[in-house]
Amino acid sequence: MRTTTACIIWLLSLTAQGFAGEPPKSEVPLFDGLGTHSRKIETKDSKAQKYFDQGLMFMFAYNHDEAARALRQAAALDPDSAMANWGIALASGMNYNDPSFTPEKAKVAAEALCKAREKAKGESKANQALIEALAARYPNPAPKERADAEKAYSEAMKAVWEKFPQDADVGALYAESLMNLRPWDLWNEDGKPQPETPDILRTLEAVLKLDAAHPLANHLSIHSLEASPDPGKADAAAEALRGKHPALGHLLHMPSHIDIRRGRWQQALEANRLAIDADNKYQKTVPEQGFYRLYMAHNFHMLTFAAVMQGQSELALQTIREMIAAVPQEWVAVKENAAIADGFVAMPLEVLKRFGRWDEVLKEPEPPEIFPIARAMRHYNRGVAFAAKGKVEDAREAQASFRAAVNNVPEDATFSNNKARDLLAIAEQVLAGEILFREGKLKEAIAALEKGVANEDKLRYSEPPDWFVPARHSLGAILLRDKQAEAAEKVYREDLRRWPDNGWSLHGLAQTLEMLGK
């Protein structure tokens, strides 16, 4: 009774209306191709169990909106299901790629958690412990800093894992709670792990000893190792997911995060083609994708990068244009969404520049004012194109326009995992280097490009990289033109260390070795 009363008081204090807590208006489809992973819950309704498992798999595949739909369907079929409500509450929280926790989500999480705790008595001890751990994530009253609640939840999950060390789901969820404390920041620039990272790796290793095919553990293993000095340690995780869950586009895509770090460009292409096909089928069944739309676009982005590194210009350009065209105009009309899409709008220009299609670069129209990053990048690419065509005065004019456009980019604007201003600083140096080179000022050009490389190396890890065309490619080429073959060799070898077997640096390295007589 105390729990019920406390929940009522808590829910009354949350005035926002639940955005996703109501029962589904029509029956949610059951999907084939999710794999065989299952977690037993207390229910007399076999269909509720199926929907719970579906919700769990969509959570493991980072489609939290679809997970919530399946879990609400499970709760509708079995109103006494504690774990269906646990899942709804879990899916409502922040995650590795979405830090948001709105008042609407808070109300849904609170309501579902209350129901889960009230109905938990018949559940297994491990499931009861999972439910109680969520109480640390959604405390009443809520802390001023969301990070405090996430830290408390992770500590609670650690205790659950210590109590149930043979439960692979528990271990994977504990590892995820640790990763959510530091999204996309598990390794320092010098290759050393962040404080939480060793525990994450140990936990995932233990989970995969229990269940080598565990979908969440393999997913998280890739994310936890992709930025490390040795991404090859995640090869087994990549293979465990490759092609194994044909209805889950994001899990089909995930091996490409390691493929790209390992120079397996064709496999990266194929993984993202499979993911795009899966998501196209999913979209026909579920027209409203919510946040998952960003994951769908990510497949195109990754495929484009792999195609660029293979030298496949037509495939790269077609893919990136398809990505931009697929973004609904009504979605972009929302200011916050336009800010997310901004940097991506300039990607076709980056592809055209990479392949030296200068006339096409110059024909690209100016993006709308709602995309200040893309507008600045257009001037940058035009400057590079004019310089390449020997039109130095036009290049200088484009450089001035670029600098003016940078002033219109908000200081707090971001593109993926990095600040927009940090990316534009690289553009400033690369453009300066290209112009100085055409003016015959080789030393100054090399110095500018070296600054660009240094700035690029300081970026936060993201995949594909937020600076799409490595600055080392330009630096190596100009060093070669200046007959500095030994310096060029170092540049190309370092680029190949970062991006193994990419054709651009292999070609540059071959030229340097020929010049050196090696």
Contact 135, 117 (CB under 8 A): yes
Q: Which token pair is 228?
A: 């490390």
pLDDT at 331: 83
Q: Which token pair is 515?
A: 């010049």
Buried b (16+ CB within 10 A) or exposed e, 406-429: beebeeebbbbbbbbbbbbbbbbb
Question: Phi-psi region for residue 184, left (φ > 0), alpha (ψ -120 to 50) or beta?
Answer: left
Please name the amino acid found at residue 343.
G
Q: Which token pair is 336?
A: 């916050």
User: Nearest CA to 35 among 220, 232, 252?
Assistant: 252
Residue 143's pLDDT band (boundaries 50, 70, 90)? confident
Q: What is the pLDDT of residues 254-275, one digit of tens each?
A: 999 999 999 999 999 999 999 9
- In DSSP terms, 415 is beta-bridged to 418
Contact 187, 194 (CB under 8 A): yes
Q: What is the 3-state secondary structure (H, E, C) of 386-418?
A: HHHCCCHHHHHHHHHHHHHHHCCCCCCCEECCE
- Who has greater pLDDT, 440 or 100? 440
Residue showing tokens 């060799």: 489
| Measured CA angle at 154 (ends 148, 160), to 5 deg | 140
Instruction: Report the pLDDT averaged over residues 26-54.
Output: 96
Confidence check: pLDDT of 238 > 90: yes
pLDDT at 336: 87
Instruction: Report the pLDDT averaged over residues 80-89.
Output: 98
Residue 18's pLDDT band (boundaries 50, 70, 90)? very low
Sign of CA dihedral 85, 89, 95, 98: positive
Q: What is the pLDDT of residues 348-393, one digit of tens each?
A: 999 999 999 999 999 999 999 999 999 999 999 999 999 999 999 9
Residue 26's pLDDT band (boundaries 50, 70, 90)? confident
pLDDT at 23: 67
pLDDT at 288: 82
**Residue 396 vs residues 238, 375, 428: alpha-carbon distances, Å:** 46, 17, 12
Alpha carbons 431 and 448: distance in angstroms, whole number: 9
pLDDT at 287: 79
pLDDT at 12: 42
Q: Which token pair is 459?
A: 């970026």
pLDDT at 20: 47
Q: What is the pLDDT of residues 62-71, one digit of tens each?
A: 999 999 999 9
Alpha carbons 313 and 357: distance in angstroms, whole number: 10
- Who has greater pLDDT, 221 or 340? 221
Alpha carbons 68 and 20: distance in angstroms, whole number: 8
Q: What is the 3-state secondary structure (H, E, C) of 298-352?
A: HHHHHHHHHHHHHCCHHHHHHHHHHHHHCCCHHHHCCHHHHHHHHHHHCHHHHHH
Query: 253, exposed or middle or buried, with CB in 10 Å at 0-12, 13-18, 19+?
Result: buried
Confidence check: pLDDT of 290 > 60: yes
Alpha carbons 487 and 74: distance in angstroms, whole number: 62
Q: What is the pLDDT of residues 460-512, one digit of tens each?
A: 999 999 999 999 999 999 999 999 999 999 999 999 999 999 999 999 999 99
Q: What is the pLDDT of residues 226-236, one digit of tens each?
A: 999 999 999 99
Q: What is the pLDDT of residues 298-311, one digit of tens each?
A: 999 999 999 999 99
Contact 17, 111 (CB under 8 A): no
Q: Which token pair is 268?
A: 């990266």
pLDDT at 7: 53
Alpha carbons 430 and 424: distance in angstroms, whole number: 10
Contact 93, 137 (CB under 8 A): yes
SS3 95: strand
Confidence check: pLDDT of 14 > 80: no
Residue showing tokens 């089909």: 252
